[in-house]
């Protein structure tokens, strides 16, 4: 039997970290001065960072499937937590195995299994928090389960309640500390186990590490529960009062109602929507983000101390963002930038010349799997919609690169109608939207007959301009771009394949996106 890592085209290790629900501006942007993300900020200067990186879909399950399959939701079909993924879709783990890696998962992928391949009695058919094919589950750390962590807490003498009470603060206020100490938190436990496991592994390991924090319920151990000075935090982006926000578009009211402020903490259902409580929850969120940053610092220190830092490809990103009270909304079920804009940092030891570079090109979460595969010398499957970011790591600016990002969001449920379905009279198949973002404008197209929106961008601020005189022409042009995008990328696993008299032939992958000239079909075996 070959040892782990044998036959790998590149002997480098892979550390692929995905943080749950981390806004990009916590690392670089409006919240960066208040958030304590020192390790990720330091890593940016020793890597390449991507300033305009967006998730292509939300929430957790769909976004992670897109990250790992390199596919838009319209192609993989996972539009909500619990939607099954076809078992034969190639993904980062299955393809890395073809390059000789044994991808190990420390955490979760939230990929519901294909029901055609499992008996109804199989426990995997009773939870959406399942493992994507191709990964070896080295440590289970799912939000609703996390049995190893719970067992560890009990071994430390804690009285451990069931989920979700395990995430209730140990006091009369949400900012009281968690019942466990910081060295015993879920974030600390995960990091301890990753380092412990990797310490004995030979060169050529692949670790996919997923941190659930700062995902709600918002509860933090001391000192992270009060680490952030809430009085110095920037106010949330709220250009108009709550009543005006509701009236601005039919989507907004249900979005505000389906996740009020109190829904972000466990055990305080009557928490008022006051400025004090708003600042308190924003500070707890940033405290949890700082805790994750501290432990990522431990991972980096381990790599340096063990002499593996310059032998390891490091990729750090988030699955999606968090509204954090902006526009009177919480969570990630929004068309706003804060719900989709996430950090991306890539440290490829083979590309030192670009360390410290901040790439301004528009990139998407579907680009990550193709990038990692490209960097380990593995062909990118035809099924993947994303493009390798390797040219940017090499200092290039690829011609014909995309001039927009594309995101999708389903806010319907085929079993239990959502707030939007009930309030707006929508079927599950109608409760969805698509977002096209350019550098200066955002088009939001709603299904179900809801009116489209045009937003003018100024950094992270988005002002609605749908009623402006010039909006009609801009909306028409961006709608055309949106349709072009879907037509360009829609298709099945054989969209670049042809059966010919000479047998199976495959066409060449095109370049980034809108504005690019499609390459002719090349008869390449």
With H, G, I as helix, E, B as strand and everything else as coil, classify residue 443. strand
Which domains are assigned to the chain?
Answer: 13-392 (3.40.720.10)
Tell me the pairing of strands 103-107 and 136-140. Answer: parallel
Q: Where are the beta strands (DSSP E) in 348-466?
A: 358-364, 405-410, 432-437, 441-446, 453-458, 461-464
pTM of the predicted model as reported, rounded to 2 decimal places:
0.94
C-alpha span between 176 and 232 (Å, rounded): 20
Cα–Cα distance for residue pair 381/412, rounded to 1 Å: 31
Catalytic positions are: 60
Centroid of chain to Cα 435: 16
Query: Can you give the pLDDT at residue 245?
Result: 97
Q: What is the Cα–Cα distance from 21 to 260, expressed in whole angstroms?
A: 17
Total Cβ atoms within 10 A of residue 146: 23
**Cβ neighbours of residue 150 under 8 Å, at least 6 residues apart?**
160, 166
State how far the Cα of 136 lies from the Cα of 93, in Å rounded to an integer: 9
CA distance 106 to 194: 7
- 442 DSSP β-pair partners: 437, 455
Residue 451 CB neighbour total at 10 angstroms = 11
User: CA 518 to CA 360: how far, in whole Å?
Assistant: 24
Q: What confidence score (pLDDT) does residue 507 get?
A: 84
User: Which value, in Å, is the radius of gyration of the alpha carbons in the chain?
Assistant: 22
pLDDT per residue, tens digit, the chain (525 aa), is 334 444 444 489 999 999 999 999 999 999 999 999 999 999 999 999 999 999 999 999 999 999 999 999 999 999 999 999 999 999 999 999 999 999 999 999 999 998 999 999 998 999 999 999 999 999 999 999 999 999 999 999 999 999 999 999 999 999 999 999 999 999 999 999 999 999 999 999 999 999 999 999 999 999 999 999 999 999 999 999 999 999 999 999 999 999 999 999 999 999 999 999 999 999 999 999 999 999 999 999 999 999 999 999 999 999 999 999 999 999 999 999 999 999 999 999 999 999 999 999 999 999 999 999 999 999 999 999 999 999 999 999 999 999 999 999 999 999 999 999 999 999 999 999 999 999 999 999 999 999 999 999 987 789 999 999 889 999 999 999 999 999 999 987 788 889 999 998 888 776 444 433 333 333 332
């Amino acid at each position: 039997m070959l040892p782990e890592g044998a036959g790998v085209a590149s002997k480098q290790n892979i550390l692929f970290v995905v943080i749950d629900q981390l806004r990009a501006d916590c690392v670089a942007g409006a919240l960066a001065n208040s958030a304590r993300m020192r390790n990720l900020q330091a890593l940016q200067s020793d890597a390449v960072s991507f300033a305009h990186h967006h998730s292509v879909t939300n929430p957790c399950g769909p976004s992670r499937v897109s990250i790992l399959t390199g596919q838009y939701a319209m192609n993989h079909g996972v539009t909500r937590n619990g939607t099954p993924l076809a078992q034969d879709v190639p993904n980062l783990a299955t393809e890395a195995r073809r390059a000789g890696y044994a991808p190990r998962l420390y955490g979760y992928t939230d990929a519901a299994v294909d029901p055609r391949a499992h008996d109804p009695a199989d426990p995997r058919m009773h939870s959406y928090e399942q493992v994507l094919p191709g990964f070896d589950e080295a440590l289970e750390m799912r939000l609703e389960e996390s049995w190893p962590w719970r067992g560890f807490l009990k071994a430390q003498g804690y009285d451990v309640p069931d989920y979700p009470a395990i995430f209730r603060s140990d006091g009369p206020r949400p900012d009281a500390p968690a019942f466990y100490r910081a060295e015993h938190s879920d974030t600390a436990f995960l990091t301890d186990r990753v380092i412990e496991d990797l310490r004995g592994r030979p060169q050529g390991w692949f670790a996919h590490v997923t941190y659930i924090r700062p995902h709600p319920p918002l509860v933090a151990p001391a000192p992270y529960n009060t680490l952030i000075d809430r009085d110095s935090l920037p106010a949330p982006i709220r250009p108009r009062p709550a009543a005006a926000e509701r009236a601005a578009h039919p989507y907004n009211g249900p979005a505000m109602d389906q996740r009020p402020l109190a829904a972000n903490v466990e055990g305080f259902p009557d928490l008022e929507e006051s400025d004090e409580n708003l600042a308190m929850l924003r500070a707890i969120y940033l405290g949890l983000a700082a805790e994750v940053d501290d432990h990522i610092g431990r991972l980096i220190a381990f790599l340096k101390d063990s002499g593996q830092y310059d032998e390891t490809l490091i990729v750090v990103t988030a699955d999606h963002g968090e509204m954090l009270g902006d526009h009177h909304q919480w969570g990630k079920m929004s068309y706003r930038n804060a719900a989709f804009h996430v950090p991306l940092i890539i440290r490829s030891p083979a590309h030192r010349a670009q360390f410290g570079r901040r790439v301004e090109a528009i990139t998407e979460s579907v680009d990550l799997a193709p990038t990692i595969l490209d960097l380990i010398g593995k062909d990118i499957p035809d099924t993947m919609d994303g493009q390798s970011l390797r040219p940017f790591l090499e200092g290039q600016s690829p011609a014909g690169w995309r001039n927009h990002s594309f995101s999708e969001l389903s806010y319907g449920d085929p079993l239990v109608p959502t707030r939007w379905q009930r309030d707006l009279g929508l079927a599950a198949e109608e409760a969805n939207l698509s977002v096209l973002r350019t550098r200066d404008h955002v088009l939001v197209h709603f299904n179900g007959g809801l009116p489209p929106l045009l937003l003018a961008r100024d950094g992270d601020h988005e002002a609605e301009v749908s009623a402006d005189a010039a909006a009609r022409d801009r909306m028409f042009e961006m709608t055309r771009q949106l349709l072009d995008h879907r037509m360009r990328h829609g298709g099945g696993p054989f969209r670049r394949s042809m059966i010919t008299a000479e047998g199976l032939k495959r066409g060449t992958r095109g370049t980034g996106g809108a504005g690019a000239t499609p390459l002719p079909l090349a008869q390449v075996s």
